[in-house]
Amino acid sequence: MAGSTVGFIGLGYMGEGMAANLMAKGNTLLVMANRRRDAVERLVADGAREVASAAEMASLADAIFLCVTGSPEVEAIIEGKDGILSGAKPGLIVIDCSTAEPDSTLRLAEVLAAKGASLVDAPLGGTPAGAKAGTLQALVGASDADFARAQPLIACWAATIVHVGPVGAGHKMKLINNFLSLGYAALYSEALALGAKVGIDAETFHSVIGQGRMRCGFYDTFMTYVIKRDENAHQFTIANAYKDLRYLGGMADSAKLVNPLGSAVKNQFAAMSAAGQAEKYVPMLSDFVAEANGVRPKQ
């Protein structure tokens, strides 16, 4: 689908960089304001065209990317007033890069299919810097035919693309992925607080873990905040983390799986969210756990 007309809804921390890469790779870009007007204006200044609604975008585009918060937002964009369904034409492909509930994804795929359109779930992994550089990871749920159509467009912003399985499989794998990463965040936070309690400071902790087998990319961005206090090292909010872990719990319930570790991790993020800190970023969980245990975080 090289040289396609591509719509993009959800120009947040990740979406703006992804959309810019789609345009830089020779696609005509359609955008609309969702939450960030400034991103729309920057992309329009670079050559994108602004549309007034998702319905208008669907009537013009070969493909539409969604990169919004979760299933309620995806459902509203597709099925709501002036939504994608209102303007969808046969052959349209909707590529949902949000982290969403698999049951909702499967239902929306059926709704779009009735209009002759297709839904692909392609939740992403990485950081805003990776979105800008075009080096994200995509976990794709799609039929073989839809994957073949979507893959060249996804490749505009992703360096690693994994066709996980049929539609819905991408979102299932993403929830499992986020369970692992957010589980690391909860584990690191508790370990750092315990270390502080027994006289092991964060620098000493990092001098050991940061040079051992347990180091990983997630650890690096998490600890960049802990050690350097760089608040933008890992721009993923507590609210989004808590949402993803609720979705994971729902998937586990549907699968009739006992999920005690998932519940424990979810409750850490639930507590921070309930304390009015939902818009802080995931590495800041280390401060929340420290303070709950009478430890003063590094300033």
CB–CB of 105/131 below 8 Å? no
**3-class secondary structure per residue, 69-82:** CCHHHHHHHHHCCC
Residue 54 has pLDDT above 60, yes or no: yes
Q: Once rounded to an integer, what is the mean pLDDT over residues 19-47? A: 93
Q: How far is the C-alpha of 66 from the C-alpha of 9, rounded, in Å? A: 5
| Catalytic residue IDs | 174
Q: How many CA atoms lie within 13 A of 214 on its CB side?
A: 12
Determine the Cα angle at 168 with ends 166 and 169, to 5°: 65
* HSE of 114, CA atoms in CB hemisphere, 13 A: 9
> Whole-angstrom Cα distance, residue 263 to residue 249?
7
Under 8 Å between Cβ of 208 and 248: no
Residue 292 three-state SS: helix
Global pTM reads 0.93
pLDDT of residue 187 exceeding 90, the answer is: yes
Read off the pLDDT band of 253 (50, 70, 90): very high
Question: Which residue do the tokens 């939504």 mark?
Answer: 83
Q: For residue 1, what pLDDT is reported?
A: 54
Percent of the chain having pLDDT more than 90? 93
Instruction: Give mean pLDDT, residues 73-91.
Output: 97
Report long-range pairs for 179-184 (Cβ below 8 Å, ≥24 apart): 179/245, 179/248, 179/262, 179/265, 181/218, 182/241, 182/244, 182/245, 182/265, 182/269, 182/282, 183/261, 183/262, 183/265, 184/216, 184/218, 184/219, 184/222
pLDDT at 126: 87
Per-residue model confidence as pLDDT tens digits over 111-130: 999 999 999 999 999 888 89
User: Which structural domains are found in the chain, ordered by start?
Assistant: 5-166 (3.40.50.720), 172-292 (1.10.1040.10)
Largest CA distance in the chain: 64
> What are 165's two structure tokens?
């399985």
Nearest partner of 99 among 121, 131, 78, judged by Cα? 121
Mean pLDDT of the chain: 96
**β-pairing verdict for 93-96 and 28-31:** unpaired
Q: Are 84 and 64 in contact (CB under 8 A)?
A: yes
- Mean pLDDT for 229-251 is 96
Lowest mean pLDDT among 22-36, 84-98, 179-193: 22-36
- The pair of three-digit structure tokens given for residue 284, joined into one six-digit string: 């800041």
pLDDT at 171: 98
CA distance 54 to 17: 20
